[in-house]
Every structure is written in C-alpha cells, then in structure tokens.
Amino acid sequence: MDAWMKKLGSSEEAFTLLSSVFANVSDAILVVDKEGMIVTANPALEKMSGWATEELIGKRHICELCLGMATCREEATCADCFFKQEQMPSFEMRLKTKDGRDYPVAASSAQLPEIDGGKMVLILRDMSDQQRAEKERYQHKLTNYVIQAQEEERKRISRELHDGVGQALYSILVGLNVVGQSKLSEPLRQHVADIQQMTAKAMEEVKRMALELRPSALDDLGLLPALRSLIKRFEKSFGLLIDLHVQGDRRRYPAVVETALYRIVQEAMTNAAKYAQADKLGIVFEDRDKELVVTVVDDGIGFDVERAQKKGTGLGLFGMKERAQLLGGTVDIRSAPGEGTTVIVRIPLAKEETEDGHSRPDRR
C-alpha cells in the first residue's frame, strides 16, 4: 500500500484519491474528537443515519447515534469506550437514526493521535441485510425440520393404522364371518351382518386415512405411481376427470423431492376438488434432466391470488411455495375469478439427483 501511494507522487494526488474514496464508499466513515463530537462524516453516514452532513458535523455527539455495545457501561460515553483502546478491529453496535429507528452495524475504529490533539475514526457497515439473510436461513432450516418431522410422524401413524388398527379390524371381520356361518336366529344373523358391514366400512376408512397420511407407493414405487394412485382416489371420491401426461425419463428422485412434489400436487388437486368446483384437471409432469416441472391446471371458478395471500386465507398456497423454496424451486400460481387456476412447480435437479447417485427407471 505504501509503495502504491508513493507512486501517486504529490500529496495533492493522494488527497484527491482519499477524498474520492471517502465520498464514494458504501460504508459510513466518521471522525470524532476526544469529547465524542463528530468533526467530519462521509455521505454514506448521511444515508445510513438520516441526518444531513451539516446536521452532524460539530453538532452531534457520537452517543446520539450509537445505541451501545455489550461492553458499554452506563457511566461511560461512547467516546470513552472508543478511546480506551488504540484500535478496535471489529465489533457490533446499533446505529440510531434521525427518525428513531435503529439497526445493527459492524464497526471498527482506530485512534488518530497525531491529528489535532487526537481523533478517532469509525467505519460502520450496515448489517441489517446480513442479519435478515441469516434469519431467513434459520427460518428455512426450521421449516425444513418441521416438514421432515411431520412427514416422519405421518409415516409412523400411517404404518400403525395399516399394521395395527387395520389388521385388528380384519381379524374382527374374519371372526364375524365365522360367526355368521353358524346356526343363528334370523334377527341375530342380520345383526352380525350389520356389524360386518360397519367393520368393512371402518377398514376402508382406516385404509383411506393411512393413504392420506403417507401412501406406501411413494416410498416403495416412487412419485409417478403414487400420483397415479392419488388421481384414481380423487376421481372416485370427487368425480373429477383427471388427465396425467408424463414427458421425459421415468425414474426415482430423492425422497425429499418426491415427497415435496407429491404434497404440492396433492394440495393443488385438493383445492381444485373442494374449493374451485372443478370438473376437469390436467397434470403435466416433465423431467427436463436438470429440473422437474409439474403443471396442474383446473377448470374451476378461480380466485384472486394476491387477495387470498393478503387475507391470510392462502395458507395452503404458502405451504406449497415453502416446500418448493426449501429445494431451491418455485411455485407459480396463476388464477383469476372465473378463469380457473394454473399451478406451475419447478424443482432443480443436480446431476446425481437420485437416492443412490444414479438414475433408476420408475416402476409404472
């Protein structure tokens, strides 16, 4: 640095350079005297604090801008803290603005003892974007953990319903069949038949609940077979006409990708069947090698997407987008009253985006 400065030649050239740096850097730079009064400041401080430069220089004390640090004492001013040490390489503080707000800044300071009885230079960098990004990363991690825990719990309950309650009901039904074949009076025989019918309905309901919680096809066979099974159930339950069109390879994907896409499509289909009064659904599944694109189109009554999100009634929409974002993907929802709804999901794929690192054919 010294050698480079020497190449500038005259002190006038060096001054011009330093003045340009002072005026144009994005970090706020201010100089305070030993009493803590601001003696000079660059435009970046004006932008960060909301105070005009002429309102700062010679008129504001550093304590009016500094909310304090963890090391501050009540009886000490900010100037006391800064001048205690010749240099404070890096620390965090909160900057108070003219309108009363405050936000975090990363700061560093150094004494300038040779200048006019001693001065202190402070450099401040806005950390609000960094903290916001860190908060978003934490929220994404937490959301991902909650979703994974939810899926594991769904899988466990589904298995218990199928293997526990389902098998118990089946055993009861077998026993009732044996009883029904015995010599019984007609009223008792009819009563046994009624119980058989109720037990069979209970078995179907348990099976439906287990499938809703976690379809075994999703784990055993893959995404496409699970979607086909879901489509059949929706066609039977809601009378919908659903067309599934698949483009590209039919292969297995990581469990998190398959689960996310299954839940997103399931939510889109549920919205179409229960709320949109749709008669037809079209689903296009595209494996584009580097990304998966799934499009769900219904002919329902449509809705105002922005209004639903503002009113907080679009929690299902938020959940769809959150699942995709956790995988670096997006969900684009297009709708308007009377025009149906289109949901476009994009999930990026890495080159080795399969459970064992290799593409495998999907069992159809």
| d(C-alpha 37, C-alpha 19), whole Å | 21
- 94 SS3 class: strand
Token pair belonging to 100: 């009363």
∠ CA 125-57-21, rounded to 5°: 45
Beta bridge partners of 108: 123
The answer on whether 63 is annotated among ligand-binding residues is yes
Token pair belonging to 160: 């218990």
Token pair belonging to 314: 């679009």
List Cβ neighbours of 264 (8 Å cut-off, separation of 6 or more).
Answer: 294, 320, 323, 324, 331, 343, 345
Report yes or no: 45 and 28 within 8 Å, Cβ to Cβ: yes
- DSSP letter at 166 equals I
| d(C-alpha 239, C-alpha 102), whole Å | 57
Q: Are strands 280-287 and 241-247 parallel, antiparallel or unpaired?
A: parallel
The distance from CA 245 to its chain's CA centroid, rounded to whole angstroms, is 29
The answer on whether 72 is annotated among ligand-binding residues is no
End-to-end CA distance of the chain: 67
Binding residue positions? 63, 66, 78, 81
Binding residue positions for [4Fe-4S] cluster? 63, 66, 78, 81
